Amino acid sequence: MSKSLQAIRGMNDILPEQTPLWRYFENTVARLLDNYGYKQIRMPIVEFTELFKRSIGEVTDIVEKEMYTFEDRNGDSLTLRPEGTAACVRAVLEHGLTGAGQPQKLWYIGPMFRHERPQKGRYRQFHQIGLEVFNIDGPDIDAELIVLTWRLWGLLGIRDAVKLELNSLGTSESRGRYKVALVEYLSAHLDKLDEDSQRRLKTNPLRVLDTKNADTQAVLVNAPKMADYLDDESRAHFEGLKARLDAAGIPFVINTKLVRGLDYYSKTVFEWVTDKLGAQGTVCAGGRYDGLVEQMGGKPTTGVGFAMGIERLILLLETLEQVPEEISRQVDVYLCAFGEAAELAALALSEKVRDQLPNLRLQVNAGAGSFKSQFKKADKSGALYALILGDDELAQQVIGFKPLRGQGEQQNIAFDALAAHLATCVVQG
């Protein structure tokens, strides 16, 4: 195939054999979020570039080097969204959803775009499910976000493989004081820092904390600790969160180096990480961003949220072999019909059955074919039962009912009794 007809590197097709797992995952999350009282919001995939620059921050990896930015035909600079929070805040402000201090518990799902080096668990188009909560400022809601993800890991069967890391970044004032101390300390050891960290020291010094460079890590051992600079309010908030996680029985570790890549966080930050996926181990990450809404032109409005990477969680389900067997079977019953008269009768009959059993997954053979070929298709479809309609059956107004997975004998069922019979043998979702 010529190169121009290939998908863009790092942007993947999700093929039919994979979609059942995606839908199982998405449905599980959606049901859980419904149950916790979160409402879905859907934002556009493209926004003005300015939105991301203002919210995410100019000196972040995303804005510096990962955005897909282009000029529209009328000269506007647009960007494919690299994350969901900015657009969600924009939408909330534009539609006055948080006016008068009204709380909102929102979630979204969809593709995000970042120009990164593609590798396992890291793509240029990837998918997130994100939650954002506005105007609830206590640690109770931070705890709820974590509790519900913990429940999700339980539903998915991956609890043992993920670990919660927590930190508090304090308010922007206490973080500002800490930044000064950190810069002072690191400047005194400038020659021992890697090149990236030297640059970050000037642009975004907290990012030095999550360096992967061993020499810089050695310098950081004696660096000032963020915890020592926390203001009382942030400290109390953090204690409140930890007490709630203890009460819910959720294990966590404090990681004082956890700073997150985006500028807008304050107080709580957290990540769920796994050691089962190699370097791309963070499956869900988030935190509190109390200053963001105001920074984007709204009234002071507290916020807290997270996003999980769907590809990484799907990889984890596959790695841990936590893919429920039943999700790959998409057909309950496969109807084979032989000859035009039988095909016509089959169509009428199958539509009548669908009227009575709206959730039945009934596949009617298309494209005719011999007994052997239709039967092969029935078997390959994964159906539990085949229905067989030829001239003989038609004459008697019955249809052959044949279990395909060794559950009993073949028998003839009267047309009128078919729906009732299927209702007794197929569990309908």
Strands of 183-331, DSSP E: 253-254, 266-274, 282-288, 303-309
244 near ligand ATP, rule: CB under 6 A: no
DSSP three-state, residue 355: helix
- Is the Cα dihedral 416, 417, 422, 424 positive or negative? positive
Nearer to ligand ATP, 9 or 299 (CB): 9
Buried b (16+ CB within 10 A) or exposed e, 301-312: bbbbbbbbbbbb
How far apart CA 46 and CA 92 sit, in angstroms, is: 16
369 near ligand ATP, rule: CB under 6 A: no
285 near ligand ATP, rule: CB under 6 A: yes
Q: Which of residues 258-277 bind ligand ATP (CB under 6 A)?
A: 261
Nearer to ligand ATP, 92 or 316 (CB): 316
196 near ligand ATP, rule: CB under 6 A: no
257 near ligand ATP, rule: CB under 6 A: no
Question: Residues binding ligand ATP: what is the number (CB under 6 A)?
Answer: 19
Least distance (Å) from ligand ATP to the CB of residue 191? 27
Specify the stretch interacting with ligand ATP by CB under 6 A; choose among 34-42, 116-124, 176-184, 378-386: 116-124
For the chain, how are helix, strand and coil distributed in percent, rounded to 5?
A: 45, 20, 35
Strands of 125-227, DSSP E: 125-134, 162-168
Provide the CB-side half-sphere exposure for 8 (13 A, CA).
11
Nearer to ligand ATP, 283 or 388 (CB): 283
Nearer to ligand ATP, 290 or 311 (CB): 311
Among 60, 79, 128, 268, binds ligand ATP (CB under 6 A): 128
Q: CA dihedral defined by 155, 156, 160, 164, rounded to 10 degrees?
A: -80
Among 25, 38, 107, 123, binds ligand ATP (CB under 6 A): 123
Q: Which of residues 55-94 bind ligand ATP (CB under 6 A)?
A: 83
Residue 123 in tokens: 């793509």
Question: Can you give the binding site for ligand ATP, defined by CB under 6 A?
Answer: 83, 114, 116, 121-123, 126, 128, 261, 280, 282-285, 307-309, 311-312
